[in-house]
Chains A and B, each alone.
Chain A
Amino acid sequence: MSPVRSKVFVVAAMLGLIALPVAQWWGDRAAGRPAAWVQLFERPPTAAHLRAVEQAWQEAAARNAYLRGLAAAPGLAWLRSAEGPVLTVRGSVNQPDGTWLFYRPDVRLLSQRPPAGSVERAAAATIHWRDQLASRGVRLIVVVAPNKAAVQRPGAFEVEEVWKSPELRRYQEALTANRVEFVDLHAAFAAAPVDLRRKAPLYLPRDTHWSKAGLDLAAAAIVERLGWPQRADVYRGREVSVPHVGDLERWLGSAPSGRQEMVWKVTDDQGNPPAAKSGGAEVLLLGDSFCRIFEDGAVVGGGLKSQLAWRLGRPVGQLRQDGGGATLVRQDLVRRPEWLQGLKVVVWEFAERDLTSPETEWAQVVLPR
């Protein structure tokens, strides 16, 4: 290459690189943010400060219009699709387009070795929580919502056994040894006839959570453990079809599939969903988004709380923290002691991922005296 062409190449490449901070500065200015490089001089240059600056710059780069434009180049999106938060799997007999969506971190909790020590922390927090409630005369029933990937599998989703991780087994053994009541939903789901599971999968194809069929089984198993008489004549229940956009579908950002899902909708005589006021419920459901599904937004009265109320013939209270079933929801109860009045049973649900996810906190929560 001639010296002139070499010079052109070098200058063009350098301009391509310099465009990065220039676009960054331009974007920051337009958004009214201080320029990224200013952060560097805000504190003495310790290793911690330099890492923080680097992190902030990297996050700023993700907003950089210039880089985002480059990232949209043909092929790169396809290359990165293998790393997105949603895993697409084909092969189900129950989907018109044969596509099921899974939350990738959940799948990885199943396929990867977990960090050591998380189960022990979870068991210790659970036993402590049982003791706290027992001192108030309240019974605790622990429910672990199975990971969707442990129930619905690639290939023949509906006919495989439900996979129970060694960590969950260890957790269950620790609870049994300490006489903590536990509802084994993995066993309940595995015991469901294969024909039934093939017709009606236990999880929603485009959502992280369980379907009506899964909710049915979960509610039945909880009520069986509770041992109270069932009264299906107090509330009305009927099967309805409702439009539902799955959380994974939303995350994927694709056009909604317009799916309808079947829901067992529970109402009282006035047509309202069963509701419990604080201080009035004997049963309180603590949980995460597995308690939110079909109890929020457009569809109310079809979730776990309503299923339990319908079977028990009495209102069930609920406190819920999406993604915070392990600790946040228990702390929520501490902040709302009125729920403890007249309370006999706490059904505490959290997602299986909380047992092994390194991001989950397992705090020992103390109830107010």
Chain B
Amino acid sequence: MIFASTLFLGYFLPVVLGVYYLLPAAGRWRNRWLLVASYVFYGWWDPMLLPLLFGLTLWSFGFAWLLGRADFTAGRRKTLLVLGVSGTLVALFFGKYFGFACENYDWLAARLGWDPAPATRWALPLGISFFTFHAISTLVDVYRRIAKPMESLADYACYLAFFPQLIAGPILRFGPIAPAFTARTHAWSQVASGLGLFALGLAKKVLIANTLAPVADLAFNARQLDAGLAWFGLLAYAMQLYYDFSGYSDMAVGLGRMFGFEFPRNFNAPYLAESVTDFWRRWHLSLSAFLRDYLYIPLGGNRHGLARTAANLLVVMLLGGLWHGAQWTYVVWGLWHGLLLVSERWLGGRAWYASLPRFFRVLCTFGLILIGWVFFRSPTLGAAFAYLRALVDFVPAGAAPAQWLGAELFTAPYVAIVGVALGLAWSRRRAHDWSMPLTGRRALLCGVLLLLSLGVLGAHKANPFLYFQF
């Protein structure tokens, strides 16, 4: 079930929200209901995945409970932490990276004359990248005594499976969010604000990202490209990815608000970044913060000289790339960002174009980010390098494939939507702030956007969110 579907909007959301507010606020009835709803939401993809989610819940709840005991020595607690996190990572590895590891082993084995790996493969369990991170966050935060383990297994299961953030985040840190599962306030203004933000996110996804999806798909699967087509396709993809993912995040945060939770903001006008370092303070903030606090700082952060800092940055970005998908293209994307961050660190935390006027700083950063998106979107490294070559191929392609691609892409709706998307991405308005508090006029606009999005959804087949594959 995806948020941008008639199934979720017409059936699931009204029922879950309606029953939630009919249940007594006292006691844990509402949490139990959210747990049931979340398991239905997750099981809708494939009921066979529910034991995995439940197993990971039991595993991390058990280790968190042990880590929370006051009578254990530091050494024993550390052993428990390593065991608990390792078990979670094993689930992540087998769920997400086993096939990739086998493919690479087979490639090597073919050259060395070894036997190939067993042919066993399985589909990526949806949302595993996110709920394993939530489990790790629980264990580390309890170990660091930032938070106490939850007493109720049902409440903890609700935290791990909570449907607004289950599939594609934002990644919730256990410490800050855990108290809300025992006590939270509800107000109509909060529900209205959440609904407004949800409507904005839905419009971002349905009206902008889904409209741009064919442009990016056509460009990245083209037989022939020239620079004009390649740049237009890349711009469209950059906008599609941003509006798709930030739209999903807005919907998730909005849903959280409707049920009395306040999730962290996940985007902060990332394409206005003036350096790559700045970009990572604006893009997928919950992942950046997770990697910083649970990986970069434990590795030593920037406390051991420039060389060690550079190595740490590269490791973090490489793993961050790999987190997005078990493909070499994501590894190279992570490496590209790692190298850019290292170069800026080398220059004292400034980009090499830092002396230019702000407009050009934003433009240069955007260009570097776009180059990274080529690796992010391409199916193979070969296709990525071919696309990069097309970006500098300024001789117009005269053959029929490129002419027809141009006839399809350079149409008024596509050009207008790319322009609007770019304009909004470079404006200073943020949906997160705009919806809080929600004024009457804004509510009206959100209502119109909600209805328009429903109209588009009715006419189109459901289009999954890009970040579901991660």
Residues of A within 8 A of B (CB): 1, 3, 5-7, 9-10, 12-14, 16-18, 20-21, 24, 37, 45-47, 50, 54, 57-58, 61-62, 64, 66-73, 76, 78-83, 87, 89, 104, 107-108, 110-113, 149-150, 153-155, 160, 163
Contacts and interface: CB of A to CB of B under 8 A. Distances in A.
Contacts of A107: 404, 407-408
A113 B443 contact: no
B400 A3 contact: no
B207 to A, nearest CB: 7
Contact of A80 (B5, B400, B456, B461): B456
A21 B191 contact: no
A58 B462 contact: yes
A14 B459 contact: no
Interface stretch (B72-80, B217-225, B296-304): B217-225
A94 B10 CA distance: 50
Nearest to A45: B47
Interface of A is mostly: helix
B199 interface: yes
A154 B458 contact: no
A18 B454 CA distance: 12
Contact of A13 (B43, B402, B406, B447): B447
A154 B218 contact: no
A78 to B, nearest CB: 6
Given A13-B199, A54-B7, A70-B458, A153 B400 contact: yes
Contacts of A67: 6, 454-455, 457-459
A10 B407 contact: no
Instruction: Give me the 4 closest cross-chain CB pairs, A-B, nearest first.
Output: A67-B458, A70-B455, A20-B10, A163-B400
A1 B48 CA distance: 44
Contacts of B218: 108, 111-112
Given A13-B195, A79-B417, A163 B401 contact: yes
A16 B454 contact: yes
Nearest to B439: A1
Interface size class of B (residues with CB under 8 A): 35 or more
Contact of B223 (A6, A24, A111): A111
A160 B399 CA distance: 9
Interface string B400-432: 111111111001111001000000000000000
Given A58-B461, A163-B401, 9 more contacts: A9-B447, A13-B450, A14-B14, A18-B10, A20-B10, A37-B11, A45-B47, A81-B413, A82-B414
Contacts of A61: 6, 457-458
Given A111-B218, A112-B223, A113-B221, A9 B192 contact: yes
Interface string B169-209: 00000000000000000011101110110010000000100
A89 B443 contact: no
A72 B187 CA distance: 35
Contacts of B399: 163
Contact of B9 (A20, A83, A111, A112): A20
Contacts of B13: 17
Contacts of A110: 223, 400-401, 404
Given A1-B440, A17-B10, A70-B455, A160 B400 contact: yes
A149 B191 contact: no
B11 to A, nearest CB: 6
B46 interface: yes
Given A14-B17, A78-B413, A87 B408 contact: yes
Nearest to A67: B458
A10 B459 contact: no
A264 to B, nearest CB: 28
Contacts of B405: 111
Contact of B407 (A9, A80, A83, A154): A154
A1 B438 contact: yes
Contacts of B411: 82
A71 B461 CA distance: 13
B192 A50 contact: no
In this complex, which of A1, A149, A160 has the most chain B Cβ atoms within 10 angstroms of its Cβ?
A: A1
A17 B14 contact: yes
A111 B401 contact: yes
A45 B47 CA distance: 7
30 contacts: A1-B192, A1-B437, A1-B438, A3-B188, A5-B440, A6-B188, A10-B191, A16-B451, A16-B454, A17-B9, A20-B6, A20-B454, A21-B10, A46-B47, A50-B44, A50-B46, A54-B1, A58-B5, A61-B458, A69-B455, A82-B211, A82-B413, A89-B407, A108-B218, A110-B223, A112-B221, A113-B221, A153-B400, A154-B407, A160-B400
Chain B interface main SS type: helix
Choose among A81, A87, A104, A108 the residue with the greatest number of B CB atoms under 10 Å from its CB.
A108
B214 interface: yes
A62 B459 contact: yes
Contacts of A66: 458
B18 interface: yes
Contact of A21 (B11, B402, B460): B11
Contacts of A18: 10, 14
Contacts, number: 182
Contacts of A71: 455-456, 458-459
Contact of B458 (A47, A54, A62): A62
Contacts of B46: 47, 50
B452 interface: yes
B360 interface: no
B19 to A, nearest CB: 12
Of B223, B405, B406, the most chain A CB neighbours within 10 A belong to B223
Contacts of B460: 80
Given A18-B14, A107-B408, A58 B6 contact: yes
Contacts of A17: 9-10, 13-14, 450, 454
Contacts of B455: 67, 69-73, 76
A108 B223 CA distance: 10
A10 B188 contact: yes
A79 B213 CA distance: 13
Contacts of B459: 62, 67-68, 71, 76, 80
B54 interface: no
B126 to A, nearest CB: 11
B352 interface: no
B65 interface: no
Contacts of B437: 1
B353 interface: no
B188 A111 contact: no
A50 B192 CA distance: 32
Nearest to A20: B10
A139 B10 CA distance: 60
A130 to B, nearest CB: 30
A111 B451 contact: no
B45 interface: yes
B203 to A, nearest CB: 12
Nearest to A65: B458
Contacts of B191: 6, 10
A81 B456 CA distance: 12
Nearest to A60: B6
B47 to A, nearest CB: 6
A12 B447 contact: yes
Nearest to B190: A6
Interface string B1-31: 1000111011101100110000000000000
